Structure formats: structure tokens, C-alpha cells
Structure 1
Amino acid sequence: MTKSTMHKSTSSKQNKSLLQGRRDLLKLAAALPLAGSLGACASATAPSTTTVAASKAPVGKPPIQKPIVVSTWEHGMPANAAAWQVLSQGGNALDAVEQGARVPEADPAVRTVGLGGYPDASGEVTLDACIMDHQLNCGSVAGLKRIKHPISVARAVMEKTPHVMLVGEGALAFAKAQGFVEENLLTEQSKQDWLLWREQGKAKSQINLENHDTIGMLALDSHGHLAGACTTSGAAYKLPGRVGDSPLIGAGLYVDQDVGAATATGLGELMIKTVGCHLVVELMRQGLNPQQACQRAVERIAAKIPNAAEAQVGFLALSVNGEVGAYCLHGGFNYAVQDASGATLTDAIHLLPGVVA
């Protein structure tokens, strides 16, 4: 072997050694943020549940848990029950989330969704909703008036038009053409609350009572297909024309059959600015489980958006294997889960100390 050849061989070995060293450093650097996040998760407020909490997922790839349906807030319990009627009989996830979402839409006692929802500043109830299946098919409506079930109108947009979103008068005209019936959505209770708010001026709304403004649902059916739905009457006493995250694919809802699905609740502007639900799903794609992904998304919002702590934000995620995770900024957000083992309502882990009204 000539000196030149020996030099090239030695140089090649050194380059390979340097390259491997750089790769090792990159792997270590990539692992550090996750380790920090996991440490924060371990030290955060632990979730409480109305029933026995699920055990920790085993090391390695978890077994597929299906069918299963999850949703935001306490009104997710009856919504999940309706969705479970579909899932438990072998029905598909898309039908399940639509049927589930229709329950709070029709319940005047649920003041942030559908009939009886809080109006905007002018006293008009306007509704937003979106729906998405495992094939990236999706439909959405925003600023819809006088139609009780915007989730079903959103599905009609998905299945009967080449579009994703219809808004305002166009959404109403489409809904009527599809046979949906107009009705007054402003109940007497919501009207009186609005009149009181107007008399008192711009009263500060309560984070977990008026501004959670949504129900988001995610389902995994017995065929292994995911779907999601999100429906709302929006933030209480919003400016007329305001649209939050709930009807926006990627912000208030996102479904990716390869990874999982996520939905959001809270002040929609925060999710819009970060494309929050798409962020959660992408973090899951990078290897985080649903719980870790939801936490990381909340932490990003808290770190990057000034005054984020003045509002609530929460994420709920479901993996394609049936793993569930949730995380929120303030205490007070809970989520419902239903599968073959029964139904549970769990308080989500939160970033900031204390629980707000």
C-alpha cells in the first residue's frame, strides 16, 4: 500500500469516526428536550378520575385498544354514550362522532354548543363545526345561524360538495337546500344572560365556564379507522363574525390515520396561532405518546404567546393504537372516555398551579 493510499484510508476512518460522533451528539441533544418534558410531566398535577384510572402503557408498542371514543368536558359523557351505541355494534368512527356531537348540540343546558349556546355581542347565536375521517376527508361550517346541528351540515359539506368549508349565509343556504330546518337557537336563559352582560359592560368571562366553547370528539372503531368532530357556539359575547379554532382543520381538530387524532378546547385564537391539533399529531408522529404530545403543545403556547395564561387551552389526543392523552394550561378541564371497560371522566393534568373557575 502506498503512502497516499494509507493516508486516504486513515483519513476515511477519521471522517467516519467524526461523523459517528456528531450523530451521537445529535441523538443526545434530541433526547434532552423529551427527557425534560417527561420530567415536567412527572412533576405536574396528577389527573383525577371518577372511576379507576387506566394503568400505564406497557413498554414497547402498546396493544390496539378499540373501539374507543373520547371527548372534551363533562358533556362528553352523554355524547360518548351515543357514539358508543354506534361503535359497539361495529359501526364506523365517522358515524359515531357525528351522532355523539349531536347530543350536546341539541341540549339547551350545554351553554357553549348548539341550541342554548351563548350568543355573540349582538345577541345572535352563531355556530361552528368540523368533521374529519381517516382518509383526510373533511367538512366545516362557520358562522352558521338558526341550524341546530352544524356537525351534520359540516358532514354534508364534506360528502356533497367539492369544498371543505362554507360560512355565514352561504352555509345557511346550503343547509336549507339539504333539508335542515331553521329554528330559534337563543333560549330564554341565554337571552337573559346576554342582557345582563350587556348591562354590565364588557365583563370578564370565566375561563372554564364561558370560554371552553366546544365539544371535541375522537373515535377509533373496530375496523381501526379514526375520525373526529368538533362543534361549538363559540366564545361567549364574541364580536359578530368572529370564528375560533373549532371549524378549522388543523387548529381545533386533526386526524391522521397513520398516527392518531387530536382536538382542542379553550380560547380558539391560541390554537389558531399554533395550528395546535396538527402540532399534537405531528409530535405523536415524532414518537411522543398522546399525553406527551398534548403537554408539549400546551408548553409551546405558554412559552410563545404573551398573556396566554389569561385564557384556557387544552388538548385531547387519541393514537391509532387507542392510547389517550390530555393536557391543559389551567386546572378545570376534564375529558370523557368510553370503551369496552366502561365510561370515565378524568381531570386533565395542567401546567399552571391551581384550578380556575
Structure 2
Amino acid sequence: MKRRNFIKRASISSLGLVVAPSLTTSCVTDEKGTTAISNKKPVLPVVVATWRFHNATKAAWEVLEKGGESIDAIVAGCRVEEADLKNTTVGNGGAPDRDGNVTLDACIMNKDGGYGAVVCMENIAHPISVARKVMEETPHVLLAGKSAEQFAVEQGFKRENLLTENSKKAWLKWKEKSEYKPIINIENHDTIGMLAIDANGDISGGCTTSGMAYKMAGRVGDSAIIGSGLFIDNTIGGATATGMGEEVLKTVGSFLIVELMRQGKSPQEACEEGVKRIVKLNPNYKNFQVGYVALNKQGEYGCYCIHGGFGISKYQEGKQDYIESDFYTKKEA
């Protein structure tokens, strides 16, 4: 199934963005040298996520609505998709690598800049929760492979087979030709990256994925890597990514977007610049997709991608919305 075509950004603007009357922001620097966005009254709490993950944003919103912290909202939301067997790009039921093994990557960041991640982890259904344990229970920030799995078991997680019959059948079908070529927007879901700000104004983020279907064994994308698939700065905001992880890694995309917001750009402007950096560096950009989502401390969002088909779920002011992103190649059509 192809995702719906995008509505024009101008159309979104004409309807009036729910989050604020304008995406324009300004920055001020206090006596300590800390830069913060401050010219609008925040519209909080708020949660945004890549793709049409309405159940995930709803679960996160329910935590925020009760006065919960953003870090707890992130875990609650991401776990919904990790448990969804119909979602073959996240958690249990994820598509395997070319050897038939489901390997999961995830990371989480909190309001204090804390970071935890796992990569190439097998047999554990909720890597977002394991990533949080890495952040909170160890002196490290990233665990890999069998060691990550063993750590999870020591923390009380149970081993289970993550390769469902449907994913196994699809993998066996792929093996008939074993052709590896990422197809843009071929599925109606992908990596979930989530950003949330609680009523206290504190932002956290998380990202979880099973990575590219039929990838080489040991491949790690951007999702679990700080600054690439996710970055949080509680004085500015956060950003997360989806799509071709290799291209996001090369430009440290999420960190770039947060730094652009620090310089005064709106979340939308920052996401657009992040995509343009990738396009400029790779002349083959027409062959892959990358999408970014950003959220600043005022609760204002931005999203942008290379090709049409990407969008974000947003829960704010008690209302669930799906926003289709503007995209780079539209101007080339």
C-alpha cells in the first residue's frame, strides 16, 4: 500500500496549525549562556511521532494527560508499536535480516540529556525498555548484540522468538531471488521515532526499529545512534528521523536539526535544511527516503522528507491529528 499523497504545506498553513499561530520562533541567551526559545506561550503537553502511529501517540498522551513525565510517555507509546505483530518494521514481528534473524535497535533520551541504547539485540520484544535500563542502571550508554540480550534477561526481560510466521514466509519468498533494494514508501509504517513534552515543559524522545528488511547481518542504522536517529536538548527541543538510516548517519541529522533550532530556525525550517543537506551530499537521493520530525519547547512541530508519502501523528490539546509532510521532490515534479 502506498501512503496517501501529501497536501501542500500552504494548505496546512491556511487551516491554521493547531500548535501555534506561527512556526516562527526567536531565541534569547541568558547570563549563563543558555539559549532557549521563549517568545510564545507553550501549548503543552504534546506528543508527535513518525508515520500513522495513532495508537502509540494515544498511549503516550494518556500518560501526559495524567501529569506523567515525558520519559514515561515515550516508553508507553513506543511499546505499543513494538508489540504490534502487524508492524513488520518494529519490535516483535519485525522483518529479519537476510539470515532470518530479527535484530532490534532502539534508543531513548531524557530531559537531562541521559541516553541509553541497544543495537542488534535478538529475542527481546521491547528494546525501548531495555534502552531505558541501559540509561538508568548502567554506567554505559549503548549495549550490542548478545551482551544486550543478556543484560535484558538479567533485568527481568524474557527471551522469546520474534520471527512470526508471516515474517518468516515473506523472508523465504525474498530468498528466492535475494535482491536487496530498498523501496520507497512501500509499506504503510516504518521506524517509530517519538518526541514528547510533558506539562512541566520537559522533553524526551525515543526511537525503535527492526531496521531494513533483509539487511546484512550486523547492520545498524541511525535509529539507536544519538544525534542521528534521535537527539534531545531540553533547552531547545528534539528531533527524530526515519527512512534510509545510512544517509541520516552521514549527516548526524537529528543533532543538526536541534542545533538549527538553537540558532533560531523554526522546527519546520530546521527539518527542511536537514533534508537538503542529504540531497546535496548524495546525487542518488531519488532512490531513497528520509523523513524528519522536530518539536521545539513551545510545542511547535515541523516535518519534512525527500519524497511524498511521509507524515506524522500528533496528540495535543486532547486531539489526535495526522499531518502529511511537505517534501523536497515536489518542486521537481
- The TM-score with structure 1 as length reference comes to 0.83
Distance 1:268 1:47 in 2: 29
Q: 1:209 aligns with which of 171, 178, 186?
A: 186
Distance 1:339 1:282 in 2: 24
- Confirm whether residue 54 of structure 1 aligns to residue 31 of structure 2: no
One-letter identity of the residue aligned with 1:163: H
3-state SS of 2:322 partner:
strand
- Confirm whether residue 352 of structure 1 aligns to residue 317 of structure 2: no
Q: 1:57 Cα shift?
A: 1.3
- Between 338-347 and 262-271, report the one with greater CA deviation: 338-347
3-state SS of 1:172 partner:
helix
Distance 1:108 1:150 in 2: 15
Distance 1:191 1:182 in 2: 18
Aligned match of 1:249 = 226
- Confirm whether residue 305 of structure 1 aligns to residue 279 of structure 2: no
Aligned match of 2:199 = 222
Distance 1:251 1:305 in 2: 17
Distance 1:203 1:165 in 2: 28
Q: 1:165 Cα shift?
A: 0.1
Q: 1:291 Cα shift?
A: 0.3
User: 1:121-149: per-residue Cα shift (whole Å, max 9, x none)?
Assistant: 11110000000011110100000001000
User: 1:156-195: per-residue Cα shift (whole Å, max 9, x none)?
Assistant: 0000000000000110010000010011111111111111
Aligned match of 2:154 = 177
Query: Residues 210 and 236 of structure 1 are in contact (CA less than 8 Å); yes or no, is this contact kept in structure 2?
Result: no
* CA gap 1:104/1:329 in 2 versus in 1, 3 angstroms: same
Aligned match of 1:97 = 74
3-state SS of 2:158 partner:
coil
Distance 1:205 1:301 in 2: 17
3-state SS of 1:352 partner:
helix
Aligned match of 1:342 = 319
Q: 1:208 Cα shift?
A: 1.4
Aligned match of 2:50 = 72
Distance 1:58 1:329 in 2: 21
Question: 1:1-357 maps to which residues of 2 (within 5 A)?
Answer: 45-46=8-9, 54=17, 56-57=21-22, 61-74=39-52, 76-209=53-186, 213-353=190-330
One-letter identity of the residue aligned with 2:294: A
Q: 1:207 Cα shift?
A: 1.4
* CA gap 1:310/1:63 in 2 versus in 1, 3 angstroms: same
Distance 2:204 2:250 in 1: 23
Query: Residues 47 and 347 of structure 1 are in contact (CA less than 8 Å); yes or no, is this contact kept in structure 2?
Result: no
User: 1:256-303: per-residue Cα shift (whole Å, max 9, x none)?
Assistant: 011110000001001100000000000001110000000011011101
* CA gap 1:271/1:58 in 2 versus in 1, 3 angstroms: closer
Q: 1:212 Cα shift?
A: 6.9
User: 1:219-240: per-residue Cα shift (whole Å, max 9, x none)?
Assistant: 0000010000000000111000
User: 1:18-54: per-residue Cα shift (whole Å, max 9, x none)?
Assistant: xxxxxxxxxxxxxxxxxxxxxxxxxx942777xx652
- The TM-score with structure 2 as length reference comes to 0.89
Structure showing greater Rg: 1
3-state SS of 1:245 partner:
coil
Give ranges in structure 1 of 5+ residues lacking alignment: 1-43
* CA gap 1:212/1:308 in 2 versus in 1, 3 angstroms: farther
Structure (1/2) with the larger helix percentage = 1
3-state SS of 1:200 partner:
coil
* CA gap 1:59/1:178 in 2 versus in 1, 3 angstroms: closer
One-letter identity of the residue aligned with 1:331: G
> Once the two structures are aligned, what percentage of the paired residues are identical?
50
Distance 1:47 1:109 in 2: 34
One-letter identity of the residue aligned with 1:71: A
* CA gap 1:239/1:213 in 2 versus in 1, 3 angstroms: farther
Q: 1:200 Cα shift?
A: 2.4
Give the number of aligned pairs: 310
TM-align CA RMSD: 2.0
3-state SS of 2:231 partner:
strand
Distance 1:211 1:272 in 2: 23
* CA gap 1:281/1:46 in 2 versus in 1, 3 angstroms: same
| Higher relative contact order (CA closer than 8 Å, sequence separation 6+) | 2
Query: Residues 115 and 141 of structure 2 are in contact (CA less than 8 Å); yes or no, is this contact kept in structure 1?
Result: yes
Distance 2:252 2:187 in 1: 22
